[in-house]
Amino acid sequence: MTVQNSSRQPAPHDPHTRMSASKPLLRALNGEALWPPPLWLMRQAGRYLPEFREMRARADFLTRCLAPDMAVELTLQPIRRYGMDGAILFSDILILPWALGQSLEFIEGRGPVLEPVRSEADLERLDESRVMEAVAPVREALRRLRYELPEATTLLGFAGSPFTVSCYMVEGGGSRDFAQTRRMMLQAPELYGRLINMLTRATIEMLRGQIEAGAEAVMLFDSWSGILPPEAFRRYVIAPTHQIREALKHSHPHIPVIGFPRLSGVMAPEYASRTKVNALALDTVSEPATMASMVPDTVTLQGNLDPMVLFNGGPELVRQARRIRDSLRGRAHVFNLGHGVMQHTPPENVALLVETVRDV
Ligand SMILES: Cc1c2[nH]c(c1CCC(=O)O)Cc1[nH]c(c(CCC(=O)O)c1C)Cc1[nH]c(c(CCC(=O)O)c1C)Cc1[nH]c(c(C)c1CCC(=O)O)C2
């Protein structure tokens, strides 16, 4: 059992943070080994829920992210059904490029489409000074959520990591290998470095805004960090993440940060110890017990059931969920998936998962 870090105790004068002291997810993120572990799921608000699809028919994705009443409703849907320990704000990592002034559209069947940022002139067109105002609806949604959530539920804010966000910005959307981004990194390191630095500053500002509005912990999604060789990983993943973590520690010392360097393999333990994140989110391919032996036990582990196993359901879901939970017993752990809930997952499988993890 890991002892709770007393330096992260909530401030006694703040009614919000005083309540936080007993929230299971916050306790686990602060290093406490709870049994059973608290749980939430990446993409827990999504198309697998009929009530989500109903809202989806009424408004496009950006509208749903930027209308506070819709973002609040979509965040709450999975909490009402399943009572997860964490509610992640309904939004997207690509709201930041949009807030910087880059055009963004979500096209059915194709995913996000942005006007690529590849030259000095493209970079100059982005405007950091408009970010806070542009994301004002996101902060409004968080403020309302803080009052609407059950008392024991932790409200999670998030951002993409500067590297993963830069991938979508440079490429102009998703990609199999993000070749344009990796080429820019090598051919125009000064320009690429300026993009990363701008994203690092904007991410810090945006996350501080989310925290001020009520987020009790934040997660950095680094979905594509696994495509980088070690030196680039240190420079463009570890260094900016460490900068973000330090800046937040300075302004908001009690707010835990979860890092998700997806598919980074043996670089993940180095990421965990050098960035100083409170929790390391494990992807599907990581063996939890191996990671536990390689990461300092002051770092909480989050994860890592395969979303396909959740989709598939049945006794195999029960077996694999128990295996992950039991293999991290005695260690600060937050149960989650290794990536987001898949679109056609039967809702009853999510109920079975929640029941299984909590049945000890
Ligand atoms: C790479 C990335 C994105 N967005 C995100 C990532 C990192 C995590 C990961 O690796 O999945 C993160 C994200 N996206 C969304 C959230 C909300 C919180 C949650 O429920 O986890 C979060 C945390 C909602 C969303 N973001 C998106 C949806 C689907 C939109 C819809 O309703 O049609 C949702 C619920 C759209 C999105 N957003 C993004 C893509 C590539 C797509 C298109 C693919 C798709 O259509 O599923 C970018």
pLDDT single digits (tens) 241-296:
999 999 999 999 999 999 999 999 999 999 999 999 999 999 999 999 999 999 99
Q: Does residue 17 carry a pLDDT above 60?
A: no
Establish whether 56 is a catalytic residue: yes
If one counts every other C-beta atom within 10 angstroms of the C-beta of residue 232, the result is 15
Q: Is 308 helix (H, G, I), strand (E, B) or coil?
A: helix
Lookup result for tokens 């959740």: 310
* Interface ipTM: 0.93
**Any catalytic annotation for residue 43?**
yes
Domain ranges of the chain: 6-358
Ligand 1 within 6 A of 181 CB?
Answer: no
Report CA(350)–ligand 1 centroid distance (Å). 18
Distance 176 CA to ligand 1 centre (A): 16
| pLDDT value for 1 | 38
Residue 44 Cβ contacting ligand 1 at under 6 Å: yes
Our answer on whether the CB atom of 253 is closer than 6 Å to any ligand 1 atom is no
Nearest CA to ligand 1 atom 35: 46
Residue nearest to atom 43 of ligand 1 (CA): 111
Residue 47 designated active-site: yes
Beta bridge partners of 158: 219
Q: Nearest 5°: phi and psi at 345?
A: -60, 130
DSSP letter for each residue of 72-115: HHHHHHHHHHH--SEEE-S--TTHHHHHTT--EEEETTTEEEE-
Q: How confident is the model at residue 20 (pLDDT cuts 50, 70, 90)?
A: low
Q: Which residues pair with 157 in a beta bridge?
A: 218
Closest-lying ligand 1 atom to the alpha carbon of residue 91: 17
- Reading the block at residue 47, the tokens are 């198309």
pLDDT at 313: 98
Q: Is the CB of 340 under 6 A from ligand 1?
A: yes
* Segment among 10-19, 174-183, 257-266, 298-307 with least mean pLDDT: 10-19
How large a percentage of the chain has pLDDT more than 90? 93
Residue 177 has pLDDT above 70, yes or no: yes
Distance CA 145, CA 31 (A): 25
* Residue whose C-alpha is closest to residue 93's, from 177, 196, 219, 240: 219
Catalytic residue among 56, 81, 182, 201: 56
Write out the two tokens for 190: 């000064």
Ligand 1 atom at minimal distance to the Cα of residue 52: 32
Q: What band does 2 get if pLDDT is binned at 50, 70 and 90?
A: very low
Query: What are the CA-CA distances from residue 91 to residues 75, 256, 261, 296 (Å)?
Result: 9, 19, 20, 31
Active site residue 262: no
Domain 6-358 has CATH 3.40.50.12780: no
> Among residues 92, 222, 283, 306, which one is catalytic?
92
How many angstroms separate the CA atoms of 264 and 269, rounded?
9
pTM listed for this prediction = 0.94
177 given a catalytic annotation: no
